[in-house]
Each structure stands twice: as structure tokens, then as C-alpha cells.
Chain A
């Protein structure tokens, strides 16, 4: 499959809890990105981590990258109902093509 693997496929948490989503891939990357999608339409870029970086923060988001394990994780701290969406990782490969994972559907219960 051209897609990476993401887990879990679906996650339901209570508002205020942290949400962790994982992404694995098979080939080498130039960078790895996380996107959010509401209502099955356009995606919005959240954060990018380069292959020589291990961790990156942006507001309530924390992304880690382990190139030896070919995996990344996205942590959303202190979740809010408005964080309910689908989250996708996307890897940029050596040809700069952008390949997306299968996504995690996050539900944050008020």
C-alpha cells in the first residue's frame, strides 16, 4: 500500500485528556507532516518535522520522530471538543511526493 499505517484508527477521549496518535512508514523520508481534516473536505497543515529532528512543539501539539523505527507520534495535550477531527500523517519521500497515512479519527467528548 502507498499509505503509511496509523493507529489507532479511531480514538475517543474526554475533554481535557491527552490524545496520542502514531504513524509508521516504510521508506526513507525528507520530512514528515501532520494534517487535520474536518468534515471530510480540505486538510489543514499542523506541523512538520524534518528527518534530522527528533521532537517538535507547536502550542498544544508535540510531534516526535524516530527514523530508526520509521515512526512518528502526534500528541495533543489538554484536548478540547473542537479538536474532534481526523488526523493524518504525511511523508515527503526522496522525490518530494507527499504520501498520506490512513488517518486517525479523534472524538473529544465534552
Chain B
């Protein structure tokens, strides 16, 4: 595709359920990032994938959060046993090997009720 694609756009889930958020980066981009943004706040770094290197997971807030990137392309962010404080917009971005600007998807708005 022409840009970064995220699905679903919106997700409402019950507290305690698991959710999976998907990100399709721009073809050929080796770097992929996940961020979380609460209402009116800045972007909180979650995880960073760069090529075949081990991902930088330093921003994951708890062990309920995990992410994988299959075949160096599509990434899935999984949140287990969701809590109300997980409600936020989850943004994915990718960039090329030159590691210059990042291109963002439109995000997934997660609401935990």
C-alpha cells in the first residue's frame, strides 16, 4: 500500500479481554514503531523494531503488552487482560533504512469498558 495501514480503526473491548492491533508498514521500511497516546497527551514510546535486530521493548508498560513483527513486515501489538487505563489511541509508524522521517498510520482508538 501507499501508506502505513492500521486495523481496526476503533476497538471497544470489555475489561479483562485480550486485543490485537495490526500495523502494515510501508513496503521496504525496515523500522517499525508503536506508540500510545492518551487524550490530549504526547506520544508514549512502546516498542521499536529495526530489521532483524532484537526489538527495543523498553517502553512497554507491563508484561500484558507484547508485540511481534512477522517476516520483517506486518506487526501485531497484543494487550492481554485489558484494563481501563489501556484506553488510548495506538499509533504505528515506519521508516526506511536511512532512518529519517517516520510515516504514521491513522491509529487504532482502543476503548476498554
Which residue numbers of A lie inside 8 Å of B, CB to CB?
2-3, 6, 30-31, 33, 35, 40-45, 48, 88, 90, 92, 95-103
CB atoms of B31 and A101 under 8 A apart: no
Interface residue count on the B side (C-beta < 8 Å): 28
Closest residue on chain A to residue B89 by CB atoms? A40
CB atoms of B107 and A45 under 8 A apart: no
1/0 contact string of B48-63 vs chain A (CB within 8 Å): 1010000010010000
CB atoms of A100 and B101 under 8 A apart: no
> Would you give the shortest CB distance from A15 to chain B, in whole angstroms?
24
20 contacts across the A-B interface (CB closer than 8 A): A3-B42, A31-B100, A33-B102, A40-B89, A41-B106, A43-B102, A43-B104, A44-B104, A48-B100, A88-B43, A95-B56, A96-B31, A96-B99, A97-B48, A98-B93, A99-B45, A100-B35, A100-B43, A100-B45, A102-B42
Interface flag for B25 (CB, 8 Å): no
Partner of B42, one of A41, A45, A88: A88
CB atoms of B41 and A45 under 8 A apart: no
Partner of B103, one of A30, A41, A45: A45
Partner of B107, one of A30, A31, A41: A41
